[in-house]
């Protein structure tokens, strides 16, 4: 990018405290990702954090598993939309706010609220979806675009949530293939996204 | 300092594009704007997600040696497109012959993308209106004169024929654009109402 048009990519305003981070050496994190909060943000090996993704550890630890993809404008650890729900969640001070398993994809603009929220291995959180505080999403689930998982809800493994909350079980048995596909995607993204983990250290 | 003209909210290029300074364009070298396109603040375009289908060849460095540079356009946008505040364009990606690659996102002329929408289509025709908070899934193909209503979720790989109106979650065909309704897709007037010296909306 030429220096003349630097204004095209506005600088990211880093507000709030800088969190302690625990990065694997093999992750790819874009320069313009936003990390805020006071608790530790852990990102395990080969995960990819896109530009403008937001990880907020103000309410507790944020843990991202191996080979996860957090796309642009996704928010992990957002303050709960309903404060009462947050009170119901375990209020332990150092509790985990958000835990992503391995092979999790959080797509554009999705929001995962803080408060002991767990997302299982191989789950895809679709564009603009919202996972409430304390919800536990099982393994290999698919939350399609704009779906909402209520606070504290437990979603069983292999659930597909679509069309304003309709549910069905994914019986295709393609979890292994999906994980392999995601690994390929990560290989490509590692080359495309300039990584700068040192900025957050 | 005081002699310099005040910096406007938009950068206006020679070809008439109006790009907000607060828009997030990643990988600008791979984004093609046809001219007279408006990009409002907080729009995000992922031009860095380019095709990599040839990157599986021995080494990418050899591409420059072979002469013609590969066409790396990730997002191409036609004339008189209007990208509203907070929308996001990103090229769709998939496995192709065992290799993951992003494919270019092509957009015709007079395409309106509503605020907060996320578009990952493979191609969008001309005179398409995408409402607010809509999601267009990966590799969707949208033909000409299509209206996608607010909050619609177009599933991946969906093909929307010309003159359709779609809505819902997932998006379904709910009607057709009437004969006399084609004028409403023109975005020339809308183009004039934004920029550093916006014109009032004509009556």
Interface predicted TM-score of the whole assembly (ipTM), two decimals: 0.85
CB-based contact (8 Å) between B72 and chain A?
Answer: no
pLDDT (tens digit per residue) in B66-86: 555 667 899 999 999 999 999
Contact B24 A144 (CB under 8 A): no
CA distance B159 to B177: 16
Strand order in A54-57's β-sheet?
A34-37, A54-57, A75-78, A111-113, A130-131, A148-149
Question: If you ran DSSP here, which 8-state letter would residue A30 be given?
Answer: B
Interface contact B170-A184, CB threshold 8 A: no
Provide the pLDDT confidence category of residue B197 given band limits of 50, 70 and 90: confident
Higher pLDDT, B129 or A92: B129
Laid out side by side, the sheet with A61-64 consists of A21-23, A41-43, A61-64, A96-100, A117-119, A136-137, A154-155
Mean pLDDT over each residue of chain B, to the nearest integer: 88
For the segment B171-189, the average pLDDT, to the nearest whole number, is: 91
Radius of gyration of chain B (CA): 18
Residues near B111 by Cβ (< 8 Å), separated by ≥ 6?
B77, B78, B81, B82, B124, B126, B127, B128, B129, B130, B187
Question: What pLDDT does B59 receive?
Answer: 45
The pLDDT value given to residue B121: 96
Question: What count of other Cβ atoms lies within 10 Å of the Cβ of residue A85?
Answer: 18
Q: How many residues can be counted in chain B?
A: 203
CB-based contact, A144 to chain B, within 8 Å: yes
Q: Enumerate the residues of chain A whose CB falls inside 8 A of the CB of residue B155.
A: 144
Q: Using CB atoms and an 8 Å cut-off, which of residues 17-46 of chain A contact chain B?
A: 32
Residue-by-residue pLDDT tens, chain A, 201 positions: 444 444 456 666 667 788 999 999 999 999 899 999 999 999 999 999 999 999 999 888 999 999 999 999 999 998 876 655 444 444 444 578 999 999 999 999 999 999 899 999 999 999 999 999 999 999 999 999 999 999 999 999 999 999 888 899 999 989 999 999 999 999 999 999 999 998 888
Which among A144, A162, A188 has CB closest to B101? A188
Q: For position B82, what pLDDT does the model report?
A: 95
Which residues on chain A are in Cβ contact (under 8 Å) with B99? 184, 188
Instruction: Tell me the domains of chain B and their CATH numbers.
Output: 10-51+71-90+106-179+186-192 (2.160.10.10)
Partner-chain contact A145 B100, CB within 8 Å: no
In this complex, the residue of B22, B95, B135 whose CB is nearest that of residue A145 is: B135
B100 three-state secondary structure: strand
What is the predicted pLDDT for the residue at B17?
A: 94
Q: CB-based contacts of A87: which residues, under 8 Å, 6+ apart?
A: none
Of the pLDDT bands very low, low, confident and very high (cuts 50, 70, 90), residue B55 is very low
Beta bridge partners of B119: B89, B136
Q: Distance from A87 to chain B by nearest Cα, in Å?
A: 30
B47: nearest CA partner in chain A: A192
Q: Are A127 and A106 in contact (CB under 8 A)?
A: no
Say if CB B105 and CB B119 are below 8 A apart. Answer: yes
Task: For residues A138 and B180, give the distance between their C-alpha atoms in angstroms, rounded to a whole number.
Answer: 50
Chain A residues near residue B151 by CB distance under 8 angstroms:
146
pLDDT score at B41: 92
Indicate if the pLDDT at residue B88 is higher than 90: yes
Answer CATH for A17-194 from 1.20.1600.10, 2.30.130.30, 2.160.10.10, 3.30.70.370:
2.160.10.10
Full 3-state SS string of A127-149: CCCEECCCCEECCCCEECCCCEE
Q: What is the pLDDT of residue A10?
A: 62
Number of other residues whose CB lies within 10 A of the CB of residue A109: 26
Q: Report DSSP state, residue A195.
A: B
- Across the interface, of A7, A72, A163, the residue whose CB is closest to B46 is A72
Q: In the prediction, which pLDDT does B2 show?
A: 55
Average pLDDT over residues B136-157: 95
3-state helix, strand and coil shares in percent for chain A, rounded to the nearest 5: 15, 30, 50
pLDDT of residue A11: 66
3-state secondary structure of B57: coil
Q: Supply the pLDDT for residue A6.
A: 47
Question: Using CB atoms, which residue from A109, A164, A184 is nearest to B99?
Answer: A184
């Amino acid at each position: 990018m030429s220096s003349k048009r630097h204004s095209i990519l506005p600088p990211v305003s880093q507000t709030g405290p800088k969190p302690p981070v625990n990065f694997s050496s093999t992750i790819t994190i874009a320069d313009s990702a936003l990390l805020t909060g006071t608790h530790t943000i852990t990102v395990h090996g080969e995960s990819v954090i896109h530009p403008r993704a937001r990880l907020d550890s103000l309410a507790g630890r944020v843990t991202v598993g191996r080979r996860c993809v957090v796309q642009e404008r996704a928010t992990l650890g957002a303050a709960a939309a309903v404060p009462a729900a947050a009170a119901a969640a375990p209020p332990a001070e150092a509790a985990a706010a958000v835990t992503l398993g391995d092979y999790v994809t959080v797509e554009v603009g999705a929001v995962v609220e803080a408060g002991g929220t767990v997302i299982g291995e191989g789950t895809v959180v679709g564009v603009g979806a919202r996972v409430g505080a304390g919800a536990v999403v099982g393994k290999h689930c698919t939350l399609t675009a704009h779906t909402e998982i209520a606070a504290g809800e437990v979603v069983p493994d292999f659930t597909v949530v679509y069309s304003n909350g309709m549910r069905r079980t994914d019986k295709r048995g393609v979890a292994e293939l999906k994980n392999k596909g995601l690994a390929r995607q990560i290989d490509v993204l590692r080359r495309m996204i300039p990584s700068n983990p040192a900025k957050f250290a | 300092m005081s002699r310099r003209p005040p910096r406007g909210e938009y950068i206006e290029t020679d070809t008439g594009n109006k790009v907000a300074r607060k828009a997030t364009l990643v990988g600008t070298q791979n984004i093609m704007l046809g001219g007279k396109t408006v990009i409002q603040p907080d729009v995000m375009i992922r031009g860095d997600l380019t095709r990599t289908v040839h990157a599986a060849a021995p080494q990418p460095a050899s591409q420059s040696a072979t002469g013609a540079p590969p066409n790396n356009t990730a997002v191409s946008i036609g004339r008189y497109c209007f990208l509203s505040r907070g929308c996001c364009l990103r090229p769709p990606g998939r496995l192709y012959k065992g290799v993951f690659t992003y494919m270019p996102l092509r957009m015709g002329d007079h395409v309106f993308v509503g605020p907060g929408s996320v578009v990952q289509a493979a191609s969008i025709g001309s005179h398409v209106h995408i409402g607010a908070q809509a999601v267009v899934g990966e590799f969707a193909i949208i033909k000409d004169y299509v209206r996608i209503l607010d909050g619609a979720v177009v599933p991946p790989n969906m093909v929307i024929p010309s003159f359709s109106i779609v809505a819902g979650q997932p998006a379904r065909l709910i009607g057709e654009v009437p004969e006399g309704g084609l004028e409403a897709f023109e975005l020339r007037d809308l183009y004039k109402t934004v920029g550093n010296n916006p014109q009032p909306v004509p009556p």
